[in-house]
């Protein structure tokens, strides 16, 4: 009695399910491929009639106040345009962006991330607009240094990063990774602020000899465990090799980028007791707190590290160290957020005008007024003698030398996880810089093979 009943039920369920499965076989979000461009572009937004732009971004806390001012400024300039903002955390935006941009009712403008996993996938699938025509219209390429522009380029077939067409604009805010120091602890140890990498190492030893902790960091979070490593790599590695490796532009191996050397240095510091006790049980902010509490002399961090920590910014400085050969000033640096336009937007001209506004002189000045580094030269006043003044001066020399380096983890989708995990293991004595190099190279090669 029961088995035919079950059979009928199975049949009743299986039929619609099979139909659904057949209809829902995975499909490309946009069959046209990766080179979606508007046929005609215009900067005339005022006469376009009422327009609503949906805007998705991940600016939270003090950053949100900045972006709100940007929206208000744009709406004032174009009263016919209304911006509907959706704010979510970085992780939330990143994990749903591909689906949202495939939706015709998704955002018109969105914050996207550099590298293969976000901008690469979106451009290849034709989900974000190729911005070349707008870049020409507004002169975007003339406003940015070549090493910064490169970070926003992909070839329309999605095969190469760092060349080809522009798929995003960098807004007005720059993030660099650099070296912060505690003025008092250096004075106590009888050393001057280092101006070369060699002097930096001398200072570390002097601070240690004085019985203080030379370096504060927190490596419990895998993502941020990479921070001191990338900072060290930018000091010790060859900028050309790093650029060539990340952008995949020819024959460079991970070993040549100086990442292994940086990892060995980190392991050496750990062995010499240069790191704050308990660094492996602290998250990134925990490590930063050790520094802002005055318990360590040096700390690698992103620009704007002291904003919102309540630390007295006259007590701390930031120094931009040159390459060991005394050459160019280089630094890991990128836009703090990249903005792109959905290929499905009905108002590309208005969206492009908004992107242009986000990178305008007003926004760069607003950036400085809020304690963030501007991407373009700004005329806004910076209070001398503060940590922020050091940050601005450092970024200016890097811009002048055109020495921006991409974040190394853009080189493959899993690089951040692989390297972050390896840093944790190396500091625990469970892995070696050689393994880090081998594993990183493998992740890079696997990703390249998958792209074809």
Q: What part of residues 151-190 is at the interface with other proteins (CB under 8 A)?
A: 158
SS3 of 2-46: HHHHHHHHHHHHHHHHHHHHHHCCCCCCCCCCCCCCCCCCCCCCH
Judged by CB under 8 A, which stretch of 73-81, 188-196, 241-249, 412-420 contacts other proteins? 412-420
Q: Is residue 280 at the binding interface for other proteins, with CB under 8 A as the rule?
A: yes
Q: What part of residues 82-111 is at the interface with other proteins (CB under 8 A)?
A: 94-96, 98-99, 102
Calpha distance 416→419 (Å, rounded): 5
Whether residue 113 contacts residue 167, with contact meaning beta carbons closer than 8 Å, is answered with: no
Q: Is residue 431 at the binding interface for other proteins, with CB under 8 A as the rule?
A: yes
Nearest approach in angstroms of CB 280 to other proteins is 3
Please give the C-alpha separations between residue 376 and each of 4, 137, 337, 373, 400, in angstroms, as whole numbers: 74, 18, 14, 9, 11
Site size toward other proteins (CB under 8 A) is 53
Nearer to other proteins, 158 or 178 (CB): 158
From candidates 164, 168, 228, 286, binder to other proteins by CB under 8 A:
286
From candidates 35, 111, 114, 121, binder to other proteins by CB under 8 A:
121
Whose CA is closest to 148, among 389, 323, 377? 377
Nearest approach in angstroms of CB 343 to other proteins is 11
Calpha distance 312→315 (Å, rounded): 6
Q: Is residue 7 at the binding interface for other proteins, with CB under 8 A as the rule?
A: no
Q: Is residue 35 at the binding interface for other proteins, with CB under 8 A as the rule?
A: no
Q: Is residue 3 at the binding interface for other proteins, with CB under 8 A as the rule?
A: no
Whether residue 74 contacts residue 84, with contact meaning beta carbons closer than 8 Å, is answered with: no
Nearer to other proteins, 141 or 430 (CB): 430
Whose CA is closest to 304, among 374, 366, 358, 398? 374
Q: Where are the alpha helices (DSSP H) in 84-158?
A: 90-102, 121-124, 132-138, 140-143, 146-149
Calpha distance 57→47 (Å, rounded): 27
Give the 3-state secondary structure of residue 404.
Answer: strand
From candidates 4, 6, 11, 16, binder to other proteins by CB under 8 A:
16
Query: Where do contacts with other proteins occur on this chain (CB under 8 A)?
Result: 1, 13, 16-17, 20-21, 24-31, 94-96, 98-99, 102, 117, 121-122, 124-125, 127, 158, 219-223, 225, 277-283, 286, 413-414, 417, 420-422, 424-425, 428, 430-431, 450
């Amino acid at each position: 009695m029961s088995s035919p009943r079950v059979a009928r039920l199975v049949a009743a369920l299986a039929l619609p399910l099979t139909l659904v499965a057949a209809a829902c076989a995975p499909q490309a979000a946009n069959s046209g491929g990766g080179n979606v461009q508007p046929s005609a572009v215009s900067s005339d937004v005022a006469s376009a009639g009422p327009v609503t732009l949906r805007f998705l971004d991940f600016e939270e806390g003090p950053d949100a106040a900045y972006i709100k001012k940007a929206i208000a400024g744009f709406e004032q300039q174009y009263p016919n345009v209304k911006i509907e903002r959706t704010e979510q955390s970085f992780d939330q935006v990143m994990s749903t962006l591909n689906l949202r941009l495939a939706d015709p009712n998704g955002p018109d403008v969105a914050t996207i991330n550099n590298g293969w996993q976000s901008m690469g996938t979106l451009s290849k699938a034709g989900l974000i607009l190729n911005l070349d025509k707008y870049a020409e219209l507004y002169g975007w390429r003339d406003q940015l240094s070549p090493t910064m522009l490169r970070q926003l380029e992909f070839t329309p077939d999605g095969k190469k990063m760092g060349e080809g067409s522009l798929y995003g604009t960098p807004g007005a805010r720059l993030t660099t990774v650099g070296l912060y120091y505690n003025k008092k602890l250096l004075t106590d140890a009888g050393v001057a602020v280092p101006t070369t990498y060699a002097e930096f190492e001398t200072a570390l030893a002097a601070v240690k000899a004085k019985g203080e902790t030379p370096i504060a960091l927190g490596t419990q979070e895998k993502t941020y465990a990479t921070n001191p490593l990338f900072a060290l790599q930018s000091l010790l590695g060859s900028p050309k090799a790093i650029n060539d490796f990340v952008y995949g532009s020819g024959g460079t191996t991970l070993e040549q980028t100086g990442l292994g050397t940086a990892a060995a240095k980190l392991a050496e510091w750990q062995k010499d007791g240069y790191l704050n006790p308990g660094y492996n049980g602290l998250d990134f902010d925990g490590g930063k707190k050790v520094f802002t509490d005055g318990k360590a002399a040096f700390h690698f961090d992103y620009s704007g590290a002291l904003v919102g920590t309540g630390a007295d910014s006259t007590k701390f400085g930031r120094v931009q160290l040159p390459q060991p050969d005394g050459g160019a000033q280089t630094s890991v640096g990128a836009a703090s957020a990249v903005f792109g336009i959905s290929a499905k937007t009905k108002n590309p001209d208005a969206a492009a005008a908004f992107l242009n506004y986000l990178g305008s002189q007003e926004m760069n000045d607003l950036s400085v007024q809020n304690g963030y580094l501007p991407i373009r030269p700004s005329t806004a006043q910076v209070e001398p003698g503060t940590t922020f003044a050091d940050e601005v001066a450092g970024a200016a020399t890097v811009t002048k030398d055109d020495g921006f380096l991409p974040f190394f983890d853009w080189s493959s989708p899993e690089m951040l996880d692989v390297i972050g995990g390896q840093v944790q293991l190396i500091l625990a004595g469970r892995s070696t810089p050689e393994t880090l190099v081998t594993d990183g190279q493998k992740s890079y090669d696997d990703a390249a093979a998958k792209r074809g």
